[in-house]
Amino acid sequence: MPTTEAPADPVGPATHATGSVRALGHPGERRLTAELLPLLAEADLLDSPAAWGSTDTAAGAFRLDPVRPGRDLELLTGWMNDPEVAAYWELSGPAAVTAAHLRAQLDGDGRTIPCLGLLDGTPMSYWEIYRADLDPLSRHYPARPHDTGIHLLIGDGTNRGRGLGTTLLRAVAGLVLDNRPRCTRVIAEPDIRNTPSVSAFLSSGFRCSTEIDLPEKRAALMIRERALRNLL
């Protein structure tokens, strides 16, 4: 299971709003819409993943879409109950288990953002983009300011085992570095027992810095350096 606790109230403002909400400021000013709420929530600590846009990959156009529990909870619960996912995420069970994991993030201060990964518009993966330097993980390695961490699961088993994880990890690391100019490193800490995951990180340009003991697992500390981006 990832180090970052997760979050999500299935009944939040973005879930209820279907159009614009209360106007801010003077009449005629742009109204705050449900689509803008995730950007405001994420802007401070993570430079708004909702606004990072799409990137082309060999598998298709990929983008991150911040989770909306009212829309996504059933899908994510199904993924968390897949035995291959549950073995490492440890979030199998009823929807309330996944909702509590999301609530910890969505009700927090914005240092971690749960997202769906959409490939050609189809949700097929789940990501957590988080500030590794502000996470408990930072107590286990020499963190640098604005280190950005990622957690990943591919939800549909038909998409596993064919190199797609490598493609998507490279794409998301690129999105982070393109859109977070203060970030010099992308960090991950897959369970060392999860050899397909470790292999995907290595194939996508991450290097294994060391092994670290976390409360729930022994992990491979994976680092993708901005300075080496074009060499790996």
List, for residues 150-181, the tens digit of each pLDDT value: 999 999 888 888 899 999 999 999 999 999 99
Residue 71 neighbours by CB under 8 Å, 6+ apart: 15
pLDDT value of position 204: 96
Q: Give the full edge-to-edge strand order of the sheet including 122-131.
A: 54-57, 60-66, 112-119, 122-131, 148-154, 185-188, 217-225, 207-214
Query: Judging by DSSP bridges, how do beta strands 54-57 and 217-225 pair with one another?
Result: unpaired
- Residue at 21: amino acid letter: V
Task: Encode the chain (232 residues) as per-residue pLDDT tens digits.
Answer: 554 433 333 223 222 232 333 333 444 444 545 554 444 444 468 888 889 999 999 999 999 999 999 999 999 999 999 999 999 999 999 999 999 999 999 998 889 999 999 999 999 999 999 999 999 999 999 999 999 999 999 998 888 888 999 999 999 999 999 999 999 999 999 999 999 999 999 999 999 999 999 999 999 999 999 988 877 6
List, for residues 142-154, the tens digit of each pLDDT value: 999 999 999 999 9
Helix axes 69-80, 95-106, angle to 10 degrees: 120
Q: Tell me which DSSP letter residue 47 carries.
A: -
pLDDT value of position 31: 57
153: part of which helix (H) or strand (E)? Answer: strand 148-154
For the beta carbon of residue 18, count every other beta carbon within 10 angstroms: 8
pTM for the model stands at: 0.80
Q: 184 and 35 in contact (C-beta within 8 Å)?
A: no
